[in-house]
Amino acid sequence: MLLLLVVAFVAGIVTVLSPCILPVLPIVLGSSVNGGKSRPFGVVTGLIVSFSIFTLAATQIVTLLHLPASSLRLAAIVIILLLGLSLVIPAFNQWFERLLSRLPRLASTQKRSGFWGGILTGASLGLIWAPCAGPILAAVTTLAATQQVSAGTVGVIVAYAFGSGIPMLGIAYGGRALAQRSRSLVRYGGRVQQVFGGLMIATAILMVFNLDVAFTVWATTSLAPSWTNTLQSIEQNDAVKTQLDVLQGHDNAASLPQAVSAVNESGPAAPEFVGISNWINTEPLTMAGLHGKVVLIDFWTYSCINCIRTLPYTTAWYNKYKDQGLVVIGVHSPEFAFEHETSNVEDAVKRFNIAYPVAQDNDFKTWQAFNNEYWPAEYLIDAKGVIRHTHFGEGEYDETEQTIQQLLKEAGAAVTDTTLTKAPVAGYSTNETPETYVGTDRQTDFASPQKVMEGIVSNYSIPDTLPLNDFGVSGGWTFGPEYATTARNDAKLKLHFYGKDVYLVMTSNKPVPVNVNLVSPSQKNQSDDVNSNGQTIVGDSRLYHLVQLDSAKEGTVELQFTQPGVRVYAFTFGS
């Protein structure tokens, strides 16, 4: 752990050499050239504390305060804009001074121009600063997003923030010294102050439209790839990767749940629902309150193709047996970050015509209570609360339905219709390309010759020959633990697959046309997600059906992304 703390600290120091520091430099300099000697120290202290807290707990804070996710960033931008205006317009500065004087720590002019005034600016910076994330910061951010914050996670992010603060403090005091000692600058001190104020205003406006991010992407792309690679090389060694795995809990393989295939009256008691953040289609339920009912628990996530193929059965069973005492509960345990959003899950519930209760298990608490490890996973619980049957993955639908019928009869229900549900059966070929993840955490079969650089914009190329089941990318991409993001409009992705259907989980903040070119085989692409122009429109966070052939066979598909900002997660296949 000590090695990870030291490397995080050094990685924070060298971040000053990356383009990601550029959007905050005008603010650090503009708020430091004037005021008391301790003001720059206050700015950097506020930045360190704010960045650490909001990296680790931003999601929990906005949830606790019932605020939109972007509200904290917007509040910080408003403060920076006000500070800039106070440097440019003397009359506004007097009004702003009176406003700040109402705050207890800023009641005196000396405090407002000193350390505590700097704290306010630094705290705002911590909300809007987005450093170029290497493997360490990316891992910590992922842990924070899934609420797996430990003492080690806190230590790493604080070490990184302190490392970043040291060069920023040097820049702040260096700029202050230059402004105060240069005779020409002293002579025009008022003008210099207004110039820095104008830069702060311009920066705030750019941030409102997220143009600071676009500028950072442009600046990163303009540099030679070796530059950013060199800056983050310290984070790429095997010893650091090993300690990151330990931090993320990858060193302890969780015990797998035991399948209960025989229907008998002995078995483990079903655990209670825990950590459910939201219920859909119902008021909150408890396992104790369902005593006397036969309960089917379906662990799923809405972008999982295997889960989607199971839904025709679970929805049919619910509609068929609900009046006899069957309760179906879909426990939605998200695989990707966008699947945490209630609105996205609600849209999926409507899209798949799910009328039974759905529980959002965003923190995987109920998943862990069942000791589950699979999507999808079915747990059948009898009227006494005992788990009598489990099945992991697709298939064995007849056996599951026969067990439902038997447990309902045991509970005293009159099951007269014993015909078994027949839904479209998803084929599977032994040669079918396996599920393929694009993000670095679970990435396999990546064929581009360049080394994947996590958290930074890099240029890649697709080899002339792609081995079967491999994929490659070309143009500008940024890889993260869960997904890869197109960084420019020259981004392409090519996949050599075997199967009948090709699916890809994608999302974008705005609708983006993506050209889908079925290179081979030479036949019509029958996918409903691809329009007559050969495009699929990526917007909502979901599974996109890229290719549908008449039968399972070998093929190649190439995607051409017309705009940056599309996030690509994982391929799944059907035969």
| pLDDT tens-digit map of 278-309 | 999 999 999 989 999 999 999 998 877 778 87
Q: How far apart are CA 78 and CA 4, in angstroms?
A: 36
Task: Give pLDDT tens digits for 316-325.
Answer: 999 999 999 9
Q: Judge whether residue 258 has pLDDT over 60.
A: no
Domain 278-410's class?
alpha beta
Task: Give pLDDT tens digits for 45-70.
Answer: 888 888 788 777 665 665 566 665 55
Q: Which of 192-206, 245-259, 352-366, 473-487 has the lowest mean pLDDT?
A: 245-259
Q: Judge whether residue 263 has pLDDT over 90.
A: no
Counting residues of the chain whose pLDDT is more than 90, the rounded percentage is 25
**Strand, helix or coil for residue 106:** helix
Q: How confident is the model at residue 262 (pLDDT cuts 50, 70, 90)?
A: very low
Q: What are the domain boundaries of the chain?
A: 2-247, 278-410, 436-574
Task: Give pLDDT tens digits for 98-117.
Answer: 655 555 544 444 444 567 76
Report residue 98 as tokens.
Answer: 């009176």
| Topology given in CATH for the domain delimited by 436-574 | Jelly Rolls (2.60.120)
Task: Give pLDDT tens digits for 405-451.
Answer: 999 998 888 888 888 888 665 544 567 888 888 988 878 889 999 99
- Whole-prediction pTM: 0.46
Residue 107: per-residue pLDDT: 43
Q: How far apart are CA 4 and CA 558, in angstroms?
A: 39
**Closest Cα to residue 479, out of 250, 225, 234, 305?**
225
Please check whether residue 291 is in contact with residue 297, taking contact to mean a CB–CB distance below 8 angstroms: no
Top-confidence residue, 499 or 267? 499
Task: Give pLDDT tens digits for 364-414.
Answer: 889 888 888 778 889 999 998 899 998 887 778 889 999 999 999 988 888
- Maximum mean pLDDT: which of 85-89, 134-138, 360-364: 360-364
Dihedral, CA of residue 97, residue 101, residue 102 and residue 107, to nearest 10: 170
DSSP conformation class of 439:
S
- Maximum mean pLDDT: which of 112-121, 235-244, 552-561: 552-561
Residues in the chain: 575
